[in-house]
Amino acid sequence: MIIPKKVEAVLNQHLEMEANAVFNYLAVASWCEREGLEGCAKFYRDQSDEEHTHFMKFFDYINDVGEHAIVPAVKQPKSKFKNIKEVCEYSLKGEQAVTKSIYHIIKVAEEEGDKATIDFLRFFVDEQREEEVQFKRIIDRIKLIGDGPQSLYYIDKEFEKILNQKIKNAAKENNAG
């Protein structure tokens, strides 16, 4: 046994959150497509893919340390939204819940002296900070320009811009690595 049983349990609980995030964001992408918000839809599809990567990182870690990753049942995600501001607030709330869960795993790992898991979670601490900041910024921007019909075009473009920047940053990181 490389990691304590208590840590394995909270890691498996967390797997469920990452799996739900995959489908929560896919449901948002679907809503955006129906609303004609193409930039937002692309952004949320990418966000869903990213969550799948997170899910697999946890899945692989649990199995790599010789424990058993349990694939969770997926909850039916919310599929209807009042407007794009509600979508972003929903996204931020989801990310805050994921951050809380990651901090909880770190707390349990610290109590159990599990340095391997603490080390593994460093990436996620940074990732969660970035994701929360990203949604907070988008919400601030929507508050600034409004989310009426005239503003929607600009909000949609803004999402596309953020996605393109993320793709560029990822390419840079890959080249550097």
The yes or no reply on residue 46 touching ligand FEO (CB under 6 A) is no
| Rounded Cα distance, 89 and 6, in Å | 32
* Residue 33 or 132 with smaller CB distance to ligand FEO: 132
| Rounded Cα distance, 118 and 109, in Å | 6
Query: Helices 149-176 and 115-145 meet at what angle, rounded to 10?
Result: 150
Residues 96-125, mask of contacts with ligand FEO (x by CB under 6 A) = --x---------------------------
The yes or no reply on residue 8 touching ligand FEO (CB under 6 A) is no
For the CB of residue 57, give the shortest distance to ligand FEO in the complex, in Å. 9
The yes or no reply on residue 14 touching ligand FEO (CB under 6 A) is no
The yes or no reply on residue 28 touching ligand FEO (CB under 6 A) is no
Q: What angle do CA 41, 91, 55 make, to 5 degrees?
A: 85
Give the CB-nearest residue to ligand FEO: 54
| Rounded Cα distance, 97 and 176, in Å | 32
The yes or no reply on residue 18 touching ligand FEO (CB under 6 A) is yes
* Residue 18 or 156 with smaller CB distance to ligand FEO: 18
| Rounded Cα distance, 124 and 11, in Å | 13
Give which of 75, 70, 28 is closest to 48, Cα–Cα. 28
Taking CB under 6 A as the criterion, which residues in 54-73 touch ligand FEO?
54
Site residues, ligand FEO (CB under 6 A) = 18, 21, 51, 54, 95, 98, 131
